[in-house]
Structure 1
Amino acid sequence: MKQKILSKIGSYFFRGLLFVAPIAFTILVIQAVFNWLDDLLPVEIPGLGILILFTAIIGIGYLGTTYFMKPVFEVFETFIKRIPFLSLIYNSIKDLIGAFVGDKKKFNQPVMVQFDENAKIFKPGFITQNDLSKLSLDGFSSIYMPHSYNFSGNIIIVKNELVHPWNINSTDAMKFIVSGGVSGMEEM
């Protein structure tokens, strides 16, 4: 009897933990990001720093699309590209952000890559380049394969005939991959 009560209490505890932990960690992450962004500008009023930052980013985004300022941004980028180490950092960050947002999104073509001759093993990923002939790799594509439960992944070069389209929304595909196949199924 005592064992059964302890078992039920343990079961309730883990069910509660399963409910509370994701909420708590989500709140902690949002709070940490908010505080970090708000502290970028030395303003005493909480929240004003992040408001100024977002307003400035929106303003710069607007200016970047105007006829008058577009050449200024292009000259700035040309200048940055001439400085070796700075160019590497700037272009890497710009390409990473551009892969998720903007006109040139890269993770919008989910695929399954066949890993065996019998078509029994597949790994999901996203096409980043369809044609690698400029790298002397005719008939090959580059595929980005995110890791589960992590902010990293691998890029693989694979023959085009081993790449199969995965007819699924790219957001759902990313959820499925990053969660280790645990979530994203409801939306599919």
Structure 2
Amino acid sequence: MTEEKDATSVPLSQAVREEEGRDPEDPLKSPQSSPDSSARSACCFFLQSWVSKKFMTGCVVLFPVAVTFFVTWWFIQFVDGFFSPLYAQLGIDIFGLGFVTSLLFVFLVGVFVSSWLGATVFWIGEWFIKRMPFVRHLYSASKQISSAISPEKNNTAFKEVAIIRHPRVGEYAFGFITSSVLLQRDDGDEELCSVFVPTNHLYIGDIFLVNSKDIIRPNLSIREGIEIIVSGGMTMPQRITPVSPIDRVARQGDRIPLHRLV
């Protein structure tokens, strides 16, 4: 019995402090915390918030850098893998040599295709590809995307970046003008533009015929428009200025670079 009393007994000073801290109207309510404990809690909360904020700032800064380095490293290894096995069989083990060879190969292909003989060979190969089921659709979509950023002036893919009212009044969508058509009506002809509005992928989208007067042509180049679509709008400039008809006629197929107001 003596051991049980010792185990359950509480020092008199501690019992007095607990009785003083209790609320007489609510005996079950826990005693109020001291000013020192409140200061410690506030300090811990501030320190935890500061550490979390700085950690997230570091993640935000390092994430694009890490993604850039990872994609660049993967691309170098991928391109280097085309010719590195050939050099390995020859007993040459130099990192990056296959990558440089691949770039040189692409350059030589561009030089060859620019000639009459290369263009003829390329036309024959393209003729066979366009007669293959399923492959021709994939090739046509890929060629349209590559033609949009082609340095050639006779570009026949994306003409201009366009902003149209879609899907309802008050909402707008980014698209690319691909062609124009003249709609013949009894009350007069109407000039329509074929606007390609991408969906979740750049090579998949919807085609809209919009009156040329209802199209907003922003001060964006084709490359900038593609960047906006691919990035999900994260590269959107803070201010967009419509291009006047005079400036639109002056630039031939988006050849004159236009600055963005940021």
Amino acid at match of 1:129: S
Q: Following superposition of structure 1 onto structure 2, how do residues 72-151 of structure 1 map, counting pairs within 5 Å? A: 72-103=121-152, 104=155, 106-115=157-166, 120-131=170-181, 140-146=192-198
CA 1:8–1:167 in structure 2 vs 1: closer, same or farther (change >3 Å)? same
How many pairs were matched up? 182
Q: Following superposition of structure 1 onto structure 2, how do residues 53-68 of structure 1 map, counting pairs within 5 Å? A: 53-68=102-117
CA 1:140–1:71 in structure 2 vs 1: closer, same or farther (change >3 Å)? same
Contact 1:112 1:122 in 2 (8 A): yes
CA distance in structure 1 between the aligned counterparts of 2:229 and 2:113, rounded to whole angstroms: 34
Contact 2:178 2:194 in 1 (8 A): yes
SS in 2 for 1:59: helix
**Does 2:57 match 1:6?**
no
CA 1:28–1:147 in structure 2 vs 1: closer, same or farther (change >3 Å)? farther
Contact 1:113 1:125 in 2 (8 A): yes
Contact 1:147 1:178 in 2 (8 A): no
CA distance in structure 2 between the aligned counterparts of 1:183 and 1:69, rounded to whole angstroms: 38
TM-score, normalised to structure 2, is 0.58
CA distance in structure 2 between the aligned counterparts of 1:97 and 1:172, rounded to whole angstroms: 14
**Does 2:77 match 1:39?**
no
Aligned-pair identity (%): 23
SS in 1 for 2:105: helix
Gaps of 5+ in 1: none
**Does 2:215 match 1:166?**
no
- What is the CA-CA distance between 1:37 and the residue it aligns to? 1.3
Amino acid at match of 2:76: F
Contact 2:176 2:197 in 1 (8 A): yes
Higher relative contact order, structure no. (Cα contacts within 8 Å, ≥ 6 residues apart): 1
CA distance in structure 1 between the aligned counterparts of 2:97 and 2:142, rounded to whole angstroms: 26
Contact 1:142 1:155 in 2 (8 A): no
- What is the CA-CA distance between 1:90 and the residue it aligns to? 3.5
Contact 1:110 1:166 in 2 (8 A): yes
CA 1:5–1:169 in structure 2 vs 1: closer, same or farther (change >3 Å)? same
Q: CA RMSD in A?
A: 3.0
Gaps of 5+ in 2: 1-42, 89-93, 184-189, 239-259
Amino acid at match of 1:174: I
SS in 1 for 2:147: helix
The residue that corresponds to 1:25 in the other structure is 67
CA distance in structure 2 between the aligned counterparts of 1:6 and 1:79, rounded to whole angstroms: 65
Deviations 1:26-61 (CA, angstroms, capped at 9, x unpaired): 100111111111112323332122222221121121
Structure of greater Rg: 2
CA distance in structure 2 between the aligned counterparts of 1:26 and 1:128, rounded to whole angstroms: 32
4+ residue runs over 6 A deviation: none
CA distance in structure 2 between the aligned counterparts of 1:49 and 1:21, rounded to whole angstroms: 29
**Does 2:175 match 1:155?**
no
Deviations 1:116-143 (CA, angstroms, capped at 9, x unpaired): 77x522112211232387xxxx854332
The residue that corresponds to 1:48 in the other structure is 97
Contact 1:144 1:153 in 2 (8 A): no
- What is the CA-CA distance between 1:6 and the residue it aligns to? 0.6
